[in-house]
Amino acid sequence: MVHSDHLSLLVTAIVVFEDISTIGASPPLGLSISVGLEIGGIALSLPFFIAAMLYALAAILLLLGMPIDSGASDT
């Protein structure tokens, strides 16, 4: 899959995207915790619902962006 010469570049790219996603997801999750604590009851699960929706959105974007393999081998 990834040539050993490019492995460190791949790991660096993964870490950068993880950090960017953490920076982007922290404010909405923090706000949802505050709102959930103010409302109480079932709203305490609001951060988990928002996290699930963000993961679902990421999965949909990933699936839509993946090319369909024709089954032919590249060897």
Helices (H) and strands (E) in the chain, counts: 2, 0
Domain span including residue 40: 25-66
> How many domains, the chain?
1
pLDDT score for 68: 66
Q: Which residues of the chain have pLDDT under 70?
A: 68-75
CA distance 41 to 65: 38
Instruction: Give the pLDDT confidence of 1-10 residue by residue, as tens digits.
Output: 778 888 999 9
Residue 32 lies in a domain: yes
pTM, rounded to two decimals: 0.60
Residue 38 lies in a domain: yes
**In this structure, which amino acid lies at residue 35?**
V
Instruction: Check if the beta carbon of residue 10 is closer than 8 Å to that of residue 2.
Output: yes
pLDDT score for 28: 87
